[in-house]
Structure 1
């Protein structure tokens, strides 16, 4: 068995690692990842206000309503969602700005002007709605539903901008002109061409299809991705691949979740948030909260198994060291301390346990055993299990589901930990015997 895993590991490492490494370093995916990560703090800030506004305890709502002496809870809840309106409701703009900045930085072009150009291009293709009080942009056109459009505009606008700049098609000011003045003038032609390109695209779509880029991209790109990423098989496949990368020492989360899937899961999450605020049932089981709070429960079972069954000195020490960090979802001490990476004994539990958690959690939600994640609580990734389960669902049943998942993955890990621990005990016994002889 060990020989089989050794050969299997060698084949996968030689074939998969170079490809995965290239994917992880691909400049456009890296920019998207940076854009999503930059947006995260603002979702957490907004979620604090949303949690305060929508704590699922009727007595709490009644108490605050009576203290403030208002007609109903909706009055003060409406004030608390101002922060959400300024952050989550315009999330595409945050991602657009951050992703553009990251890609412009990679190309060593003018980051400020490239970012402003991208923002202008995005607004050019975003249709206004006109009424008696003038024009306005619907929040849906700049929120999570516009995430795919924001990503595409950021990439295309930077590519056009830097290629025009590389060709030297810029307004060159005299050397005596300060850089602070020269740079904006140098950006005029690249920005003009980039913005005009998107303007032409908008006109073509309006004339030929009576549509806009937001609708077209969400139909052609967004809907298929949402259908895939919003399904149980889609998430299971993503997590299996992510864990496979981790096995070979590659940051699977950065490549799969942060790099590719988070934009999809964020759109689904936002739909849940909007429904929850409106007092409706969240429409999506699969979402960012589902992935972070339930589907990610896997490797923590290794730590619990170490604490329960390990007898070797090495594993007992690793269990002590790694237990506290992993309670806050910090897994590096476990990955490197056991180690789990490139360790054939742990290949199976490392790869399959998040998928097992995903399947169990999915059926708990689809059968209404547990309320769906509300989308209101955008928690830091360090939020401990049990606490996060309660907060993202607004129900103690969410915490109980996490407890079930913890028990399940621990039971999967125990036989493998025992097997490896026996080997370590023998090695430690042999080492002690050798010390006595010497």
Structure 2
């Protein structure tokens, strides 16, 4: 029986493993992942100020207004929005910097020059607004809505720079010139060629296609990807595949993040913009939905163990795993129960997150809980119940999380009870054998 199970797992690992390895070793996908990870702290920083500015309890807002003695809340709220304007509102600019930096590191080329060249190329492709004959940069054009453009520009500007550098097309100064002085001069030609390339691309978009890069990329690439990542069917498939990878010892989260983070961040930003304008957020699925509602599943295993476990092993695992899982850290449960490669738990492990995803989506679609506002983009490690309240601005968000935890716990209980029964039986047999051995040894001494 165990041999068959191991042979099956070996076959699946041999099939999925190489694919996962290729993804994890692909410098372009990992650069996208690293760029998004570098951007995430600023979403949290901005969220702190946005939460204070638009606290979900009106009495708190009124109290702050009274203490500050301002005419109305907007006076001090507008000041807190400065942080948003310097972080989330320029999300595309931040990502193009982090994307170029990450890829330049991996390609082992001039990191600083690649970053500056990428920023110039990105701004060159960014369409300008024109009022009364005056061109100006609209900050919304470099927000998270330009995420796909920033990733592509950061990637291709760095690749082109590296290719030119490899061919030795640069200004060569004597070896006696210090590197700090020679470096900028050597980058002149590679940077010039990269910038000229993107300048030509912009002219092609404007003169031949009568459009701009941002509009075309968001339309041809962004819309299909956003539809896939923003649909319930697409997200369910993603969550199942992510858990499938985890089950076989592969880091499902890192593989999924590279593809899904930019999509869900764009949807999150759309919700934030609508919320700031006083409108209803347009998207059910977003980064907040994925992190704080669609990922409630494995926690049910821990709670099920705390409720029904009789074996010493599971009782200890439950105690050890419960604290980290308060912060959505599941490795102690993954390796302690264990869940990985444990085919007894295959069904709840693979499908519990998908179940919470579908239920949460239906609840939001029916309007029973306010949609995630995008104002509080808090880390995935934020404990459930707390996160549900802040991302929706309503206690109903917390109640939905409690309901999802309860439902997934019910899903896990029969499987945990089955496994715990076997462990408890084995422990009893071991205790009995140990007791008999002790008696025999004592009689021998006598």
Does TM-score exceed 0.5, indicating one fold? Answer: yes
| CA shift for structure 1 position 21 | 1.6
Aligned to 1:270: 269
* 2:73 is equivalent to residue 94 of structure 1: no
Larger radius of gyration: 2
SS at match of 1:135: strand
Aligned to 1:51: 51
C-alpha contact 1:282 1:373 (8 A) present in aligned 2: yes
For residues 73 and 317 of structure 2, the distance between their equivalents in structure 1, rounded to whole angstroms, comes to 49
Matches within 5 A, 1:165-184: 165-184=165-184
Rate the CA distance shift 1:418–1:2 in 2: closer, same or farther, 3 A.
farther
C-alpha contact 1:149 1:213 (8 A) present in aligned 2: yes
Aligned to 2:392: 393
For residues 133 and 64 of structure 2, the distance between their equivalents in structure 1, rounded to whole angstroms, comes to 35
C-alpha contact 1:269 1:289 (8 A) present in aligned 2: yes
For residues 402 and 65 of structure 1, the distance between their equivalents in structure 2, rounded to whole angstroms, comes to 32
Aligned to 2:404: 405
For residues 266 and 333 of structure 2, the distance between their equivalents in structure 1, rounded to whole angstroms, comes to 32
| CA shift for structure 1 position 3 | 7.1
For residues 147 and 262 of structure 1, the distance between their equivalents in structure 2, rounded to whole angstroms, comes to 10
List per-residue Cα deviations over 1:309-343 (Å, max 9, x = no partner): 11111111111111001001111111111111111
List per-residue Cα deviations over 1:238-275 (Å, max 9, x = no partner): 1111111100111111111x211011000000111111
| CA shift for structure 1 position 122 | 0.6
| CA shift for structure 1 position 6 | 4.5
C-alpha contact 1:2 1:344 (8 A) present in aligned 2: no
List per-residue Cα deviations over 1:341-370 (Å, max 9, x = no partner): 111111111110110000000011000100
For residues 424 and 105 of structure 1, the distance between their equivalents in structure 2, rounded to whole angstroms, comes to 49
For residues 40 and 70 of structure 1, the distance between their equivalents in structure 2, rounded to whole angstroms, comes to 33
For residues 167 and 262 of structure 1, the distance between their equivalents in structure 2, rounded to whole angstroms, comes to 35
Aligned to 1:352: 351
| CA shift for structure 1 position 434 | 3.6
For residues 320 and 59 of structure 2, the distance between their equivalents in structure 1, rounded to whole angstroms, comes to 42
C-alpha contact 1:122 1:153 (8 A) present in aligned 2: yes
Greater mean alpha carbon deviation, residues 72-81 or residues 355-364: 72-81
Aligned to 1:261: 260
| CA shift for structure 1 position 5 | 5.0
SS at match of 1:81: helix
* 2:186 is equivalent to residue 186 of structure 1: yes
Structure 1 residues without counterparts, runs of 5 or longer: none
SS at match of 1:406: helix
Matches within 5 A, 1:119-268: 119-131=119-131, 134-256=134-256, 258-268=257-267
Greater mean alpha carbon deviation, residues 53-62 or residues 210-219: 53-62
For residues 161 and 434 of structure 2, the distance between their equivalents in structure 1, rounded to whole angstroms, comes to 68
| CA shift for structure 1 position 437 | 4.4
For residues 431 and 183 of structure 1, the distance between their equivalents in structure 2, rounded to whole angstroms, comes to 70
The runs of at least 4 aligned residues of structure 1 exceeding 6 Å deviation read 1-4
Q: TM-score, normalised by structure 1?
A: 0.97
Aligned to 2:118: 118
RMSD of aligned Cα (Å): 1.5
For residues 154 and 269 of structure 1, the distance between their equivalents in structure 2, rounded to whole angstroms, comes to 22
For residues 426 and 358 of structure 1, the distance between their equivalents in structure 2, rounded to whole angstroms, comes to 36
Matches within 5 A, 1:284-299: 284-299=283-298
Aligned to 1:415: 414
For residues 296 and 363 of structure 1, the distance between their equivalents in structure 2, rounded to whole angstroms, comes to 15
| CA shift for structure 1 position 56 | 1.9
Aligned to 2:312: 313
C-alpha contact 1:305 1:410 (8 A) present in aligned 2: yes
Matches within 5 A, 1:350-389: 350-389=349-388
